[in-house]
């Protein structure tokens, strides 16, 4: 964007919101502290540095009235759409306290693709095609953020049913989010299923498995660091589904040097992993692992929610057996 001559202060809104806790009813500062702690635990950096980055980021957004214009640049995938609704929710809350005369025009560029892959000469044209953020967009962003941070994933379904048209890519992103609930077939999320499918298809190195899984996404879902953490999750518990050839449990890399080594690491699908892939065993009943999906806490073998891919609906369970929608 700078090379393209896009003027102004550029803020990168970086957070993998579909990984880790995003509980409801926290202030932006409170949530940023929760996110910094989670990202630090996942090996993304030191807590103090991450927390400082979040403070700097949040402070810039709080200075909304200092700017002549604000432009939101976001792509169509889940990673970007969750960040977009977080920002729209924050703007909706802050805008109410700003006098109309002090509110800068807020525009958006919603891109059907990946901005990072574009040559710089494309950016001035996209900037000229920007559109105003409407009250309807702010309203949908606020409602979608409330649904995403809810402990009940059926709130996301209700949000979709209520209509998300002002944000053209949001519905597809939210359905993809729900596919990360444990499957009613075998307890695996879609991302976990695709990674294990990659191993079952004959890929052994992590980089090969990651490419296999990524190639089955309609839009980019996650990066290699998230995928590595998913592999580690599948290697935890009393009955691991993936191990190293030595039989040791898999640990996601924590440093750049470890990441380079991990890309070449050989992985093995265990007999339990094969049983889960076939549907003869269930990952949640085998113990599963603790995971957050927005505001939903999937508590290992007590995970309360499932995704039925055939009927495309959320199912509430007693922790192991499906009981009702």
pLDDT in tens, 214-225: 999 999 999 999
Q: Do 169 and 210 belong together in one domain? A: no
What integer pLDDT is reported at residue 325 of this predicted model? 39
Residue 1 lies in a domain: no
Residue 100 lies in a domain: yes
Which among 178, 204, 227 is the end of a domain? 178
What integer pLDDT is reported at residue 323 of this predicted model? 37
Find tokens 């960040």 and name the residue. 83
Q: Do 160 and 90 belong together in one domain? A: yes
Residue 131 lies in a domain: yes
Q: Do 111 and 72 belong together in one domain? A: yes
pTM for the predicted model, two decimal places: 0.92
Q: Do 27 and 135 belong together in one domain? A: yes
**Residue 97, pLDDT above cutoff 80:** no
Find tokens 């052994």 and name the residue. 204
Residue 184 lies in a domain: no
**Residue 99, pLDDT above cutoff 70:** no
Name the residue range of residue 267's domain. Answer: 190-324
What integer pLDDT is reported at residue 44 of this predicted model? 84
pLDDT tens readout for residues 177-198: 999 999 999 999 999 999 999 9
- Averaged confidence pLDDT in the chain: 92
Q: Which two tokens stand for residue 253?
A: 């890399």
Q: Do 30 and 132 belong together in one domain? A: yes
Name 52's Cβ contacts closer than 8 Å, sequence gap at least 6. Answer: none
Q: What is the dihedral of CA 294, 311, 277, 240, to 10 degrees?
A: 30
**Residue 148, pLDDT above cutoff 90:** yes
For residue 242, give the 3-state DSSP assignment.
strand
Q: Do 40 and 81 belong together in one domain? A: yes
**Residue 318, pLDDT above cutoff 50:** yes
What integer pLDDT is reported at residue 189 of this predicted model? 97
pLDDT tens readout for residues 20-46: 999 999 999 999 999 999 999 888 889
Q: What is the mean pLDDT of residues 117-136?
A: 95
Q: What is the DSSP letter of 104?
A: P
Q: Do 106 and 156 belong together in one domain? A: yes
Q: Do 153 and 283 belong together in one domain? A: no
Find tokens 């298809």 and name the residue. 201
Q: What percent of the chain clears pLDDT 70, i.e. is strictly above it?
A: 95
Q: Do 104 and 219 belong together in one domain? A: no
Q: Exposed/middle/buried for 34, CB within 10 Å: 0-12, 13-18, 19+?
A: middle
Q: How many domains does the chain have?
A: 2
Q: What is the mean pLDDT of residues 49-74?
A: 91
């Amino acid at each position: 964007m700078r090379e393209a001559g896009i003027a102004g202060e550029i803020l990168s809104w970086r957070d993998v919101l579909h990984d880790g806790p995003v509980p409801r009813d926290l202030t932006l500062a409170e949530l940023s502290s929760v996110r910094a702690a989670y990202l630090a635990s996942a090996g993304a950096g030191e807590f103090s540095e991450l927390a400082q980055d979040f403070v700097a980021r949040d402070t810039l957004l709080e200075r909304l009235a200092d700017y002549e214009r604000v432009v939101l640049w976001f792509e169509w995938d889940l990673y970007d759409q969750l960040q977009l609704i977080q920002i729209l929710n924050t703007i909706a809350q802050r805008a109410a306290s700003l006098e109309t005369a002090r509110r800068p025009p807020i525009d958006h560029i919603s891109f059907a693709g990946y901005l990072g892959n574009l040559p710089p000469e494309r950016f001035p044209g996209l900037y000229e095609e920007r559109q105003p953020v409407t009250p309807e967009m702010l309203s949908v962003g606020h409602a979608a953020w409330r649904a995403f941070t809810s402990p009940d994933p059926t709130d996301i379904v209700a949000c979709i049913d209520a209509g998300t048209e002002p944000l053209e890519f949001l519905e597809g992103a939210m359905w993809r989010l729900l596919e990360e609930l444990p499957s009613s077939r075998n307890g695996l999320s879609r991302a976990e299923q695709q990674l294990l499918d990659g191993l079952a298809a004959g890929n052994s190195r992590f980089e090969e498995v990651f490419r296999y899984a990524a190639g089955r996404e309609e839009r980019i879902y996650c990066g290699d660091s998230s995928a590595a953490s998913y592999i580690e999750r599948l290697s935890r518990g009393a009955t691991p589904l993936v191990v190293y050839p030595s039989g040791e449990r898999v640990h996601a890399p924590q440093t750049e040097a470890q990441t380079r080594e991990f890309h070449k690491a050989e992985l093995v699908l265990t007999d339990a992993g094969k049983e889960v892939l076939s549907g003869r065993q269930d990952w949640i009943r085998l113990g599963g692992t603790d995971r957050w999906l927005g505001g939903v806490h999937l508590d290992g073998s007590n995970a309360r929610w499932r995704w039925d891919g055939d009927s495309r609906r959320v199912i509430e369970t007693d922790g192991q057996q499906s009981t009702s929608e």
